[in-house]
Structure 1
């Protein structure tokens, strides 16, 4: 039995895909210690792992208006905070290996400081030079956000300088955006692969990993019966978008469709004003169950949401907000399961026209159902494949270390 320490970035999107893998590691006899914030204690306790709350001053990740510099700056500050307040405890845990998600930069550096193997569990596409150049929207996007200006700002960041001084860590923008390890596990089907990672031997597509929360009794599903249903959600990080929600009300209000709109915790429903009778607005919705009733999913193109939609055979209208979501949306479009619109230039006419087109043309639904069976099979085995890869990688690292140690004598 080996000891693993999970280090998770504190968001639902980062945590949920990892839970089944943690559960499987525990079931195979691994000693698993799982660090995250108190908000996620209940979910982690259900895996059988030992929950440890992060110590530190920064335990929340909220970025308004998709500000990449603020997101990168907060990531640097969280990395320093988590190392300063948790590294000594993790060193005392004496783990054999570290498992972290793709946004948890302090997971990568913890393993480096302790000189132990690390596995990166990715809930979205990895960002590589190949993926950037192959995705036609990416290069203009990089220049638009001022990537070089961002890099220069980070170079002057005081937290970055403290990381260098205290831990001899030369933090780079690449670590923030990519966080690559020698073993990287991607939680989606290989059908979503963009033929960009064939030369990258460290990437393994194991299939979707879906977290199921049974809260169907709280939702009025009876209102959806015998209706054409559109479900709209921008996920948990990008849902503070009142102007977009008002566009949706204007686009679909008093039309032939019934619309479920999830607005998140940051938008007050009363801010929307008069709500048309064909709308059901909630702070959150039981997404996986709801998708059984849905004819179209309007989504931010997050990997978890896209995986869930495909597993239910639901076509999508994708409104990507950030780098890797552009890649995901492009792939869904190429596979014929949806259409893509820019969230920056969205209008009520544009969104209604595309939504009506997707629902009216059967080819989108047929494509989604074609890939549904593949994704569902992959989803059933994803946690098993992930753990197989993790344990084999740890075994190889252990054997390599033993060989290296024997050569010293």
Structure 2
């Protein structure tokens, strides 16, 4: 039996998939120590894992920092993660000396879990609660101007903080290397291979196990009135205006509505028909989705996975780049549509078109067959893995470097043949065209590669 250490950031969407896995490992006789935060203490202890509180390592936040974290600022999240890593360094040094973990399970966004595993040379498995993202699948993420600006203007701050890690024995190239997926790290992804964008580009170190769930409910979709469920997740959910707009647009229809608003929305300020609209701080989402005919969602990965698992089509309202990636894929498979300004017509379109239910049902079967918790634990028990296989991404990068060189050699030759005439114009046009041209060539190469391998 193994000594296994779990690490996760203080977020429900990242912690929840790890809980059924921790319980299954304990039931199989493994010793599990779960390093987390008091907000999740009760849930973790219910799995029979040993809970280790890390609250004392959290930094005191200013109002400005707290606001940035609530708005999913990549810069602020990175800086705070670095601070926690440094604060936990001496504590984890003593913990690892005493407990001697055989394996670390770390959330993909948990710097202190990943970096500690690397520093102490402990095998680790990454828990990925979004899609697995590499240079291909990340094309699904469309960042807003605000998100791009946050990253660009935050780079100097992040670089400064990263340098502090060196003196503690943590060697990091850049922040991207800490959060991106590579083909050499054992990784769990809580979706199916067919739902994952560009799944073929990921090596066999990746296990696509579908949703990690405690409970399973029988579908109950036939009601006198259709049931609409609305939730904006657990982070950016203080959307009083949005909830009221949904109520105003939908409550006069022949439907029932359940809304989960979180703990910070003043429910008494919402105006609604109490016979048809039911509003709660939180609900058992899986149980509600087993009955719902439509889910209006922020497109968090767990929410979308649970919705598909319960064959519930969706009206998609993403708020971050990762959520936009999940929304795009959900739309591609025909299980939902993007919300436009007309909530009523969008909702009615889904409720009155059985094709959306059919598509969601198809992926329900796909998710069920992916193996879930038991497959995830089987994979963990066999870790670490050593596999000799072709890395499609590395091969693709070699091809990209080659095509880039050839592309610019052709442009230089063209300018030379024209004796420099129109050189500036050709150069500008070549620069503007270089990305779309090389992207198209890359995709052609990728299609050939996946056929050959």
* TM bucket normalised to smaller: 0.7 to 0.9
TM-score by length of 2: 0.75
Whether 2:187 is the aligned partner of 1:184: answer: yes
Moved more, 321-330 or 145-154: 145-154
Q: Is 1:56 matched up with 2:56? A: yes
Shift, 1:385, TM fit = 1.7
1:168–1:287 distance in 2 versus 1, CA, 3 Å = closer
Aligned position for 1:25: 25
Equivalent of residue 268 in structure 1, options 266, 269, 284 = 266
Partners of 2:48 and 2:19 lie apart in 1 by: 10
User: CA 1:140/1:11 → structure 2, altered by over 3 Å: closer, same or farther?
Assistant: closer
**Cα distance, 1:5 vs structure 2:** 0.8
Unmatched segments (≥5 aa) in structure 1 = 215-223, 398-409
Does the CA contact (< 8 Å) of 2:132 and 2:196 recur in 1? no
Kindly state the Cα deviation for residue 392 of structure 1 after the two structures are TM-superposed: 2.0
Query: In the alignment, is the contact (CA less than 8 A) between 2:59 and 2:83 conserved in 1?
Result: no
CA distance in 2, matches of 1:299, 1:191: 21
Answer whether contact 1:231 1:259 (CA < 8 A) is retained.
Answer: yes
1:360 aligns with 2:352: yes
Give 1:65 shift: 2.9
Runs of 4+ in 1 over 6 A off after TM superposition: none
Cα 1:85–1:175 shift into 2, 3 Å? farther
* In 1, Cα distance between equivalents of 2:82 and 2:238: 23
- Deviation of the 1:396 alpha carbon: 5.4
Deviation at 1:171, TM superposition (A): 6.3
TM-score by length of 1: 0.83
What displacement does 1:60 show?
Answer: 9.4
Tell me the residue number matched to 1:3: 3
- Match in the other structure for 1:79: 85
Counterpart for residue 47 of structure 2 = 47
Aligned ranges for residues 149-298 of structure 1 at < 5 Å? Answer: 149-157=153-161, 160-170=162-172, 172-178=174-180, 182-212=185-215, 226-272=224-270, 274-277=271-274, 278-298=276-296
1:148 aligned onto 2:146: no
Q: Is the 8 A contact 1:185 1:204 kept in 2?
A: yes
The Cα RMSD (Å) is 2.7
Cα offset, 1:241, TM superposition: 2.1
- How does 1:62-141 map onto structure 2 within 5 Å? 63-133=69-139, 135=140, 138=142
1:142 CA drift (Å): 8.4
- Quickly say closer, same or farther: Cα 1:139–1:298, change in 2 above 3 A: closer
The count of corresponding residues between Structure 1 and Structure 2 is: 375
Structure 2: gaps of 5 or more residues: 388-453
